[in-house]
Amino acid sequence: MLVKLSGGVAVDPSIVKYIQVRREQRAVDGAPVVAFTVAVKLDDDSFVSIRTFDDLEEATHLSDRCADKINKALGEEPPEDDEDGEEAADDDAADDDEDGDDADDDFDLDAFLNS
């Protein structure tokens, strides 16, 4: 069985290892341009590119939709969204540090992407 993801790309969900968003920097007319490519890694360690975006949020949204389609095809339920459209938080989240703060709060994504 194949699952159609986007732009005519279809994969067998049973051989998908993971979906990733890759940050790529290219030169266009001599100026650096950042792009984000959504790709699927398969069991044979090959990658299938799905689509490239100029915006990280759009790429992340597509990767989430692809993951939901693959999980649904495998018989797994996608996570439920809360009222704001965000995924519901797990009560016993493993990424909370000892004082209860999320350890990722200190991570500056913009600084990382522009480095």
Q: Average pLDDT in the 2-31 region? A: 91
* Residue 16 maps to a domain: yes
* Residue 73 maps to a domain: yes
Contact of 68 with 29, CB cutoff 8 Å:
no
CA-based nearest residue to 96, from 108, 88, 104: 104
pLDDT in tens, 81-115: 655 555 544 444 444 444 444 444 455 555 555 55
Q: Tell me the pLDDT band of 59, cut-offs 50, 70 and 90.
A: very high
| High-pLDDT (> 90) share of the chain, % | 52
Average pLDDT of the chain to the nearest whole number:
78
Instruction: Indicate yes or no: pTM above 0.75.
Output: no
CATH assignment of the domain containing 42 = 3.30.730
The domain of 11 spans 1-77
* Residue 69 maps to a domain: yes
* Residue 14 maps to a domain: yes
Q: Average pLDDT in the 72-78 region? A: 81
* Residue 33 maps to a domain: yes
Ramachandran angles phi, psi of 68, nearest 5°? -60, -45
Q: Which residues 6+ apart lie within 8 Å of 108 measured at CB?
A: none
